[in-house]
Chains A and B, each alone.
Chain A
Amino acid sequence: MPKTKLCDFSISYMQVLDENGVVDTDLEPSLSKEQLVELYRHMQWGRITDERMLKLQRQGRIGTFGPSIGQEAAHCASMFCMRDDDWFVGCFREHGARLMRGESLVKQLNYFNGYTEGNIGGNPRNLPISVIVGAQSLHAVGLAYASKLKGEDSVAIVYQGDGATSQGDFHEALNFASVWNVPVIFLVQNNQWAISVPREKQTKSKSIAQKAIAYEMHGIQVDGNDPLAVYAATAEAAERARNGEGPTLIEAVTYRMMMHTTADDQYKYRTKEEEDSWKPKDPLIRFKKYMEDKGFWDNKAEEKLQAELKADCDAQVKEFESQPDFPRDVSFEHVFGTEHAVISEQKVEFDQELEEENDA
């Protein structure tokens, strides 16, 4: 009996706006001037606040954090497709997208200053930052299952990096999502580095997008520094999800322009030359040029925007630093939703000990 071909597979790559600002008009999403300006503003807000946080960390005014600089197109342009009633499930490198979901810079600063208060407020469908890599992919599947069961047309979008795609939970999430045919978008920001481990040591696969094939799921690789490609792919995925056509895996190829976190020195494992080679591909440069070519943007508009965003940033840093102290015994309030002697007795003990410490 001869062997027969069971199936053929292929995986697409999409770029709409290249690094020189040249646009493929066939693939260009129809976004109004207002929308484009709004998206550009979100990306700039992510960049400016990220840069400020880096400075604050270096000055010891906040704790360790991982900058998202360079990846603004991958996370902001995908979030730009989503509705307020969609679920946002993040990890820790989609800073600009989180800010787009009604979360203030003050909140982010509180979080990175070591206070859970930074996790509350914002859109009630924003999950808090998930530090454990890849675990959150499964939460998105459960959220999407609930949407489907309740007959809502909301979608869950979950962000993870290239490192996460090696985790079992990520694969279990893809599998569950596909078997259950639930409305999830898995947005992988492939930024080439998982701390010191390069993409080619993370997986032997030619792309991360092709991992969708094994799960019978739509998968696509896009230029993750191209906001138009990211937008077009995510909009299509969201529409499919809302129509009951199930999950999508989007690999956004981008680059982590900075260190993994502020506790890391990236030059131990990669070169400055490599970083420099990505600089011309910066998503903000090409997006600005695209808008200028369309006549939607000029230096005057840019100066005005930069001044506005910087002033907002200054104001929020000031607000962050002038907040009254948060209560110290708050951890006892959120162990359980019901009263238990074990916790309430320890809270009394904690308060007494604090008092003793203060008196000493």
Chain B
Amino acid sequence: MPKLNMVQAVTLALEEQMTADESVVVLGEDVGVDGGVFRATEGLLEKFGEQRVIDTPLAESGIVGASIGMAMAGLKPVAEMQFSGFSYLSIPQLEGHASRMRARSMGQFTVPMVLRMPYGGGVRALEHHSESREVLYAHNPGLKVVIPSGPRNTRALLAAAIQDPDPVIFMEPKRSYRAFKEEVPADPETMEIGKCQVVQEGTDITVVAWGAMMHTTKKAVKQIEKERGISIELIDVLTISPLDSDTICESVRKTGRCAIIQEAARSFGPASEIIACINDKSLLYLEAPVQRVTGYDVVTPYFNRELDYMPTVGRISRGIIEAIDF
């Protein structure tokens, strides 16, 4: 199997799942003829036809509301939001209906839909194209929030999201879309939703990241290991909600130290939730306060300033070292 970038991995997963299951349909703005603004759905229209690859009117609530109906009638819609910044128009449908139809009907109706959306900064885009707002979705019981970090886990997690019986918000770090390639297996594979992945075992500190931050964090981790000769355990969160706190807390019990890297604004973010879980389950094993390296609680600046506000290799390194040297 050739090496793929993340966009190609999305397309591959969609193609494989649409081939395997004819109830899977793709819909969104420009997903058909144009193949999506990031080309993530390229070639699907030609292969599966316009009944299953649907160019919708420009209305995010409409896309999600119609997907909810489709899903209740037995289809598996995979809807695309062009940018996560536009998905907020659909939050009433997600919070009001997608997340709670299972509960409302005590399992009689389910909403097995996926809402894909590119999120995050670092691509020099216009306003509303750079936010990292996973907590808006993670705080809604009934929604699953998945954030892959590389081509292989993108393909495997998107497959799992499509097969999942519940609505999954699938946030794709657009900064990583074409940043690097990775070998993916020839045969379709899935990864379990709701599980973190220990991507590197270590003994001195637990470093936790997700999405585009994984790539930056890996660079920082390599640098520190080389400079300080220490052993770092690196965890990729992958599913923001429901959070697999056991894997993180178990690692912290082993290492006694932890740094969490989050692109999103600091307050009320996933890092805060992870620290609360560590507090519940591993507090007495800590040898240093848990460090957070995060975005700031400001409106995301326009692109000429955005990199100053995002965690960089330097900021991440300093955060990790602070936890080590405490």
Contacts and interface: CB of A to CB of B under 8 A. Distances in A.
Main secondary structure of the interface of A (DSSP, over half): helix
A135 B100 CA distance: 14
Contacts of A172: 57, 59, 61-62, 65
Contacts of B73: 87, 142-143, 145-147, 150
Nearest to A148: B51
A168 B194 contact: no
A331 B68 CA distance: 21
A331 B62 CA distance: 29
Contacts of B105: 116, 119-120, 128
Interface stretch (B217-225, B238-246, B263-271, B297-305): B238-246
B106 A116 contact: yes
Contacts of A137: 65
Contacts of A338: 164-166, 193-194
Given A143-B69, A146-B74, A176 B56 contact: yes
Interface residues of B, number: 50
Given A128-B104, A128-B105, A139-B97, A336 B166 contact: yes
Contact of A169 (B57, B61, B164): B61
B121 to A, nearest CB: 29
A338 B66 CA distance: 24
Contacts of B194: 338, 340
A128 B101 CA distance: 8
Interface in A115-167: 116-117, 119-120, 124, 127-128, 130, 132, 135, 137-147, 149-150, 156
A327 B219 CA distance: 52
Contacts of A213: none
Contact of A130 (B59, B97, B142): B97
A336 B68 contact: no
Contact of B66 (A87, A142, A330): A142
B69 A139 contact: yes
Given A138-B61, A143-B73, A146-B75, A128 B67 contact: no
B72 A173 contact: no
Interface stretch (B107-115, B199-207, B252-260): B107-115
A141 B65 contact: yes
A277 to B, nearest CB: 37
A41 to B, nearest CB: 27
8 contacts: A116-B106, A128-B104, A139-B66, A143-B72, A145-B70, A146-B69, A169-B61, A175-B62
Given A119-B104, A135-B97, A146-B74, 13 more contacts: A116-B103, A135-B92, A139-B69, A142-B71, A146-B73, A173-B65, A176-B56, A176-B57, A330-B106, A334-B102, A337-B102, A337-B164, A337-B165
Those 9 A-B pairs whose CB atoms lie nearest each other, nearest first: A142-B69, A138-B65, A146-B73, A337-B165, A172-B62, A139-B69, A142-B66, A142-B70, A340-B242
